Structure 1
């Protein structure tokens, strides 16, 4: 993002901040053929605009507005600050229409820059994500994704929020400026109950309509309140970051987990690119970090006291620094920016005098930011976590060839063997009478073992955030579902694991995560609605309906809707080429069952042309 755009974005954000009665402001970079449009949002000092009834004010995100902000495989929505989410949704309904402004800018191929200062930055984040969701394939809208720049913004969502933005490759569009001591980006580390009535009083110092706005009165006149406010927040931040650091370092000590069961921890986590402004008279010097776990640690350690003498200064400074971003941005030259990428984080010196040569500049910047040896160790651990995630994926890539060989050669040959005998491989495996069936079962278990390992790593977020969005894994998962899952279903019903009630069906109790997860990956990648059933597991529904309607021609009136729904799905899957030809062979369980249905039903069936009488 160009320096001019950042400076204009801040100026516009400050203007919006002083116009809290307007839902948003639209500014252009210049009057003549502006290539960017800045849409900025005002902040708020009211408690209700920061915290809802819950202790930290979090709630599940509205997946109707933000369908990508979830863990795909785990099918778990991100948590978001409820008050910020409500403010954004109110703005969507306000006039003039924000959606119309966005549509106008994208149709003219303008670069939209969403911006905000303080809690206005939180709304800007949600507006950017909403736009990315709305124009997820932006080619028809100029192919220019929106950008977001915030100044002193509080955190917005939890670790799934951060995980999803990295998976979608969206985090690169977000730029957050944070002054070293600014307390606002750290506020939501503390529950509202711990702040008592101090929030309302302290927030007046950055309320444009307050007499205390841009003055020194609040910080000096209420020194005790300011100090208590600062230390309460930082105490909670210490608990959050220490718990996170223990996980980063692979600690086996259960103390932190036990403590977390008794002391509520803030769910909020950073994401995007952070620019930490060191200040200290060095205008323009910034440390840039994109690793979210490293950012979390810096948010805590950079705002710590260096000496006991600072105890009277830093709490006051934590408020005043929230209002001086304009001054800090006056010098934004490239040479004043220190980038801490993955490799540099891994090699950080653990002491102020432990680096020389090319690392000296980085070490000086870390010292200016007040990062202690403990802090630097945590940053290293954050980098090492990403290394472990990549190493885990690499291990599975080595097993990927094994899986592909098993499904593309052995199971395809197995399927072809049964096709030649005019029996589908599902039914052949269900009978389980040939030596080839035993071999296929061994292959099934081998492939399942690899996938179960993958799923376990995904559940604990020990694979790169981008893993579930990578086409190579989506395609492999889809092929495994097509060739291996029917065998799992056949095995389930062959052993009679189902009973009369639906709770014992394969779909309700027996379907493994190794099939559920890849199905969700494919649905998400292709923007399909989530389906409880799929072509790979339709045999389970056939088995259930076969059991319910009986095999002696019993009436299907009791499950008529389910039968018709399955037939419609079979027709659609067949048209898309998602069903193998052996499904409709003479010896197929599907064909045998369908022929037992009442004549009047078969006459009207949408799949009667697929099954020869």
Structure 2
């Protein structure tokens, strides 16, 4: 696998969120409290703490036990013996290994943790935390939670560890990074005064350097907040994390006797120092640094590494330049291509409304695919979907904020894409005879883009200015045609005398009201009224069922032909 640095890094935002919101102190304080409650002879303990804005689950181990495990046991145990973590294995990543002591402690608590997992409320944000080897157990418990949460989609969980040793090998790192959300759930705080986070980093721990593939055995994952008395820096690139931890080790008397050097380091002052700078002084030393030598050196100074480490400086600059270049390529060249594809779909939409095309409209022209240009739409739709799925996947790696996680420019582009392309996916879905698109066929990335738009603009009022440009507008509800297709099925069911007739009529009335609301808000494209459209086909079938005795706002609009004025914005709704 390539050692290229990750192109998209959410670590900076994660660290800033944790520090500026006071999460570091909120998670370190329960650890201190738990240490005070730890009974003599007790090896490991966890406790649940209810905070005003979150639930905290903290793990600690006996200091003496911690020293013994870290001094004597650096062995890795294979995933073949870790039944509770088998879900991390895939065809492309069939095995991984975990620090034996951490795996043993986690397994010893599995019955209690199973009960805890079943009791955890989905309403409050959840933070899992731990110190030293307790942090390793916290990481494993978080992974176990994430697997079940991936299926049920409850609240987001965040794991913050303090002074935790590396917990697994390259296989574990890859298993975590394959899921776009998981890697962003971990923030590891490590001080340069604490030996434990760098114990298993080569060459400081030569006994755990190699595995069969010849690579370094222990590998980091997640985001690291590296601290010293001089400052701190945030790193997500796993190779840079390993190099910085190794460099910190070379700066702190690595030739000392390991048994003498290993002392349990407590993070009370470290947390206070970090939060004082970010919150107390109103500045953030975690901020982005430009790709230049001074920026790299400042990052090294922040974690107490001498400026003489030239190979490390050169490598960090090289990887940062790579990230910057790839980001520019992604944002510029790739985005420009997507704009070209969207422009083609805009042209296709206008062409589909012409007499030559049979007045079918955008949706139905694509659904029936009668012309060669329809094949080009298939190609462009596929590429747009691939692009935006990746954008949404990367956005989900970012810490969730109160508002949409996409920058407004991207959210605007994503909204136009969803409104232009999802109707085409709906057309493909129903042309195969399928049903219930929203429940059974809708892609998750569409749901996220719609959810983020709603959170960014929670209240939307009718905008009369939209009627001035309604002829060029896109239908705002990207699932409008799904509703039309389902309404067509209801008409067919009613005409055939199938199912609960009263319930079917009620559902059709609900659809009527929905359509009328969209029309009043100028939220639908006028091509829905083209003679060849599925909407007009629905209307003709519905009119034949309801006949003349049924009157509603929509039937009045349609039977009187007033909808003809919709396209130029001259429709008078007071007369409807």
TM-score by length of 1: 0.49
Q: Which residue does 2:60 correspond to in 1? A: 43
Give the superposed CA RMSD. Answer: 7.0
| Change beyond 3 A, Cα 1:583–1:392 | same
Q: What is the deviation of 1:369?
A: 7.5
* Selected match of 1:383 from 292, 308, 320: 320
Per-residue CA shift, 1:571-611, capped at 9, x if unaligned? 54663565445435554334435755898899999999459
Is 1:90 matched up with 2:143? no
Q: What is the deviation of 1:538?
A: 5.8
Q: Which residue does 1:526 correspond to in 2? A: 454
CA distance in 2, matches of 1:605, 1:371: 86
CA distance in 1, matches of 2:334, 2:496: 49
Per-residue CA shift, 1:179-214, capped at 9, x if unaligned? 466335878x99xxxxxxxxxxxxxxxxxxxxxxxx
Per-residue CA shift, 1:513-551, capped at 9, x if unaligned? 9x76344322355369xxxxx953564686699799989
| Change beyond 3 A, Cα 1:537–1:566 | farther
Q: Which residue does 2:528 correspond to in 1? A: 583
- Equivalent positions of 1:160-559 (< 5 A) are 176-179=189-192, 182-183=195-196, 235=210, 269-271=221-223, 274-277=225-228, 284-293=229-238, 296-298=241-243, 301-302=246-247, 313-314=257-258, 317=261, 320-325=262-267, 343=289, 346-347=291-292, 368=305, 375-376=312-313, 379-380=316-317, 382-387=319-324, 388-399=326-337, 401-402=339-340, 405-406=343-344, 410-411=347-348, 413-414=350-351, 417=354, 423-428=360-365, 442=376, 444=377, 447-448=380-381, 451=384, 454-455=387-388, 458=391, 469-486=406-423, 498=432, 502=434, 517-526=445-454, 535-536=477-478, 539=481, 554=496, 556-557=498-499
Q: What is the deviation of 1:269?
A: 1.7
Per-residue CA shift, 1:359-405, capped at 9, x if unaligned? 76766777848996665555345424531134311223434554564
Is 1:19 matched up with 2:40? no
CA distance in 1, matches of 2:302, 2:212: 23
CA distance in 2, matches of 1:54, 1:340: 40
8 Å Cα contact 2:128/2:158 also seen in 1? yes
TM-score by length of 2: 0.51
CA distance in 1, matches of 2:379, 2:337: 11
SS at match of 2:189: strand
Structure 1: runs of 5+ lacking an equivalent: 29-35, 62-80, 103-111, 137-145, 191-226, 243-264, 278-283, 349-356, 529-533
How many residue pairs get aligned? The number is 453
Structure 2: runs of 5+ lacking an equivalent: 1-18, 39-44, 67-76, 89-102, 168-172, 278-282, 457-475, 560-576
| Change beyond 3 A, Cα 1:230–1:369 | farther
Per-residue CA shift, 1:72-112, capped at 9, x if unaligned? xxxxxxxxx99899859939959xx9989x9xxxxxxxxx9
CA distance in 2, matches of 1:458, 1:401: 15
8 Å Cα contact 1:294/1:379 also seen in 2? no
* Selected match of 1:118 from 105, 108, 132: 132
8 Å Cα contact 1:290/1:341 also seen in 2? no
Q: What is the deviation of 1:176?
A: 1.9
8 Å Cα contact 1:291/1:383 also seen in 2? no
8 Å Cα contact 2:132/2:164 also seen in 1? yes
Q: What is the deviation of 1:19?
A: 1.7
CA distance in 1, matches of 2:477, 2:492: 23
SS at match of 2:221: coil
CA distance in 2, matches of 1:270, 1:506: 38
8 Å Cα contact 1:178/1:185 also seen in 2? no
| Change beyond 3 A, Cα 1:39–1:596 | closer
SS at match of 2:195: coil
CA distance in 2, matches of 1:58, 1:603: 65
